[in-house]
Structure 1
């Protein structure tokens, strides 16, 4: 987030317009309120003050000064008009460029790339797994130095990454479901100002299935040196709280954030001690090294079958013999803790990634509790632009102090993950009866979409119905007459 931008602050239209004009050129006409310093106040007199007596010399000097000033401003005015008629060309300036040297301007410059050599000019640089990157922290720091408009707020900048298979889904409704899951991620990123990259091609021909994410994440780190965090979110995971943002300050001493539980890893030795379907990874050399070691257990290596045996013998509850990314990550935490564990944050205090089966049944109650809050607090049900949604998320927090987090909470779950449902193939886990997966997805998707589409004047009136109804003014206070 840009260091001079406060998402929880409203600015009046007049003040905003004035600020924008001031970025172009100072002018007395641009600001009707002239701020006067205490040192200069003694030189300003009221229009009602009695004029002082001046001698003739001072009158003559004053009149001369006025005459010369008038002449000077007349010449200045002529020069100004002539500059509009035949302006001096400036090859280094484009009207679409954003000025990056102004301390008041936090916008990044998307039309400029430095002529200075960077890591991109190195012919040895490889984006693929198997091409190690060295000194990445220094290379990234040098790139930011040559692109100063990206430096402000770099520590808070996030790029979300997701993806799906290259081919059409076997399940007849699979492509539609993946589209809605993708829309959900796009909505969340737009609301919070995050970039998003969605990939549907294998960046490494041998790394498919659950291993396909690692080449994509690694390539995204190289493609986005301006971003501090790369945020992987599986295609079958969706945001069910569109207002909540990860508390990045909590992870300032860590390089990797994943939903997990230390007891299940170290004591139970369970392959479900964490879920690798959603994770934040810092864009740094440590992370590059982690991905290289992690990927060495994947199907592109000659030791793939050997790693499957090692992982299954280490974690007795692992159900299948194949080496997978999740168990591989747990193995690195468990066996190589000195190298990796200290920088990995196991987030279990909120639904950084929540199991859908324990969440979907609670959504109706959560909806009603949030409606009750809005009926009591008109500020929260006030219509507003989508761009200021974070402000209303901050307003809502005071009402959620007793809501709790995670299971048994009536706070909106942050991310709901439909692990085991397989929306694309349709080969869902047989422990889920009938259409529970599909109904659960529709319900969660509509629950999340209501938080978005309401800014456009509509909601889904039924959690299993994707049709829309217009909402009346002052909704939900007027819900009974709807």
Structure 2
């Protein structure tokens, strides 16, 4: 269900248009893969029957989530179940379906939080993030596709463990009519209801790789916004380009505004009778759209451009770093990025960074490494970008279709496979370091032990 519905890559200064050559390349890259992307890493486009029980795996990130057996002196868990104050969950009209609206969500969520002893405005709530991703319920058609999905999942598990983010991995059709890239909307909406304790729900396509394990979401930057998505203000609001943003990765606040947005967005999808009419309207009104298909990304561009006061004012189009980055612009530079980070750590002034430490101290060392990299003259923003040599936060393999088996015509299967392996190994080295190992080479699956005082000692 997590698809490569990425249709915008590249980078440009926040709020400005990118260079024409870059945008043409990105538009061509997406146009070439738009049809194939429907089949990859998302729910199958066939209307399959929903599974009796949604196959959702929730990965807890704190030790407090581990259940312990009740002692003779402690009350039985069954004594507490169902005894608390009534909340929105007790309303029989509540529905998880995208076809039924949820109203009064801000008040309902705040009331639920208070019944659990949580202050809605506390940092414990406002910084809590749930990541949602997933894949189709059936096996991949392409050879090695399921293994690729496993490695993509492992990468997300690593990032979430290091940053205290909870991960929901979905492989069920929560709404069979919402096929292909539209499948994300029912999953995200259900996650909002299932996790009222989370301020943010973070959708990440299955084929997106976290290539900077140090970088944390700058949530404070988004305090006055409810949706964060990678895109260009000029292209969305002025040009109304169908590739003006990328809907493969987005951050959504758990609030009524977001519920309303999901309702409006979903109604443009295949689960509603207006689906074909929306496709024609998008073809007429969005710059460069080559077909009459109503896709999720074009639909979001349309909503923002047509109703900026309602939707655009609460949306942050992130361009300062690789909130999601186009893989073809990134993977060839990863070796150079790694070399510059190692050079910074080899300096005597940064010797403390080379000290071995427990994985639970990762964020402390990540912050210190960020300071050292800035002082060391490595150019570029934290989280990476087209310019500079900082680690890219997210590398998105749009068009490679590892689950479907055949990449877009623009790419060869070998180029995609090597790019994916290189990005995964680059990220994995950052994780393996806490365990005393790293990959033997950028394209090697074998690992080698790290010498003491690495990278000064090699």
Q: Do both proteins adopt the same fold according to a TM-score greater than 0.5, normalized to the shorter chain?
A: yes
1:358 aligns with 2:337: no
**Distance in 2 between residues matched to 1:296 and 1:386, nearest whole Å:** 44
1:386 aligns with 2:359: yes
List per-residue Cα deviations over 1:65-93 (Å, max 9, x = no partner).
Answer: xxxxxxxxxxxxxxxxxxxxxxx986548
Whether the aligned pair in 2 keeps the contact of 1:381 and 1:474 (CA below 8 Å) is yes
Equivalent residue of 2:130, what SS? strand
- 1:165 aligns with 136
Whether the aligned pair in 2 keeps the contact of 1:114 and 1:146 (CA below 8 Å) is no
**Distance in 2 between residues matched to 1:113 and 1:368, nearest whole Å:** 57
**Distance in 2 between residues matched to 1:348 and 1:115, nearest whole Å:** 45
- 1:29-428 equivalences in 2 (<5 Å): 92=75, 115-148=84-117, 152=122, 153-376=124-347, 377-401=350-374, 402=377, 403-405=379-381, 406-428=385-407
Whether the aligned pair in 1 keeps the contact of 2:155 and 2:427 (CA below 8 Å) is yes
**Distance in 1 between residues matched to 2:117 and 2:332, nearest whole Å:** 48
Deviation at 1:267, TM superposition (A): 3.0
Q: Which runs of 5+ in 2 are unaligned?
A: 1-70
Which residue, 383, 401, 412 being the options, matches 1:433? 412
Quick one: structure 1 residues 187 and 114, their matched pair in 2 at CA, closer, same or farther if it must change by over 3 Å?
farther
**Distance in 2 between residues matched to 1:463 and 1:349, nearest whole Å:** 27
- 2:50 aligns with none
Quick one: structure 1 residues 396 and 327, their matched pair in 2 at CA, closer, same or farther if it must change by over 3 Å?
same
- 1:461 aligns with 440
Deviation at 1:461, TM superposition (A): 2.0
**Distance in 2 between residues matched to 1:319 and 1:283, nearest whole Å:** 34
**Distance in 1 between residues matched to 2:426 and 2:220, nearest whole Å:** 28
- 1:474 aligns with 453
List per-residue Cα deviations over 1:133-174 (Å, max 9, x = no partner).
Answer: 110011100111111158651010000000111110011111
- 2:9 aligns with none
Whether the aligned pair in 1 keeps the contact of 2:174 and 2:186 (CA below 8 Å) is yes
Equivalent residue of 2:220, what SS? helix
Q: Which runs of 5+ in 1 are unaligned?
A: 1-87, 95-110
Equivalent residue of 1:230, what SS? strand
**Distance in 2 between residues matched to 1:309 and 1:90, nearest whole Å:** 67
Moved more, 143-152 or 260-269: 143-152
**Distance in 2 between residues matched to 1:124 and 1:463, nearest whole Å:** 54
Whether the aligned pair in 1 keeps the contact of 2:240 and 2:302 (CA below 8 Å) is no
Task: Give aligned pairs, total.
Answer: 376
Using CA pairs under 8 Å that are at least 6 residues apart, name the structure with larger relative contact order, 1 or 2.
2
Deviation at 1:433, TM superposition (A): 3.2
**Distance in 2 between residues matched to 1:319 and 1:423, nearest whole Å:** 25
**Distance in 1 between residues matched to 2:83 and 2:210, nearest whole Å:** 37
**Distance in 1 between residues matched to 2:406 and 2:292, nearest whole Å:** 19
Equivalent residue of 2:317, what SS? strand
Whether the aligned pair in 2 keeps the contact of 1:258 and 1:346 (CA below 8 Å) is yes
- CA RMSD between the two structures: 1.7
**Distance in 2 between residues matched to 1:399 and 1:312, nearest whole Å:** 49
Deviation at 1:114, TM superposition (A): 5.8
Whether the aligned pair in 2 keeps the contact of 1:270 and 1:317 (CA below 8 Å) is yes
Whether the aligned pair in 1 keeps the contact of 2:239 and 2:287 (CA below 8 Å) is no
**Distance in 2 between residues matched to 1:229 and 1:300, nearest whole Å:** 25
Deviation at 1:321, TM superposition (A): 2.1
Quick one: structure 1 residues 89 and 369, their matched pair in 2 at CA, closer, same or farther if it must change by over 3 Å?
closer
**Distance in 1 between residues matched to 2:398 and 2:313, nearest whole Å:** 27
**Distance in 2 between residues matched to 1:254 and 1:172, nearest whole Å:** 42
Rg: which structure is higher?
Answer: 1
TM-score by length of 2: 0.80
**Distance in 1 between residues matched to 2:196 and 2:189, nearest whole Å:** 11
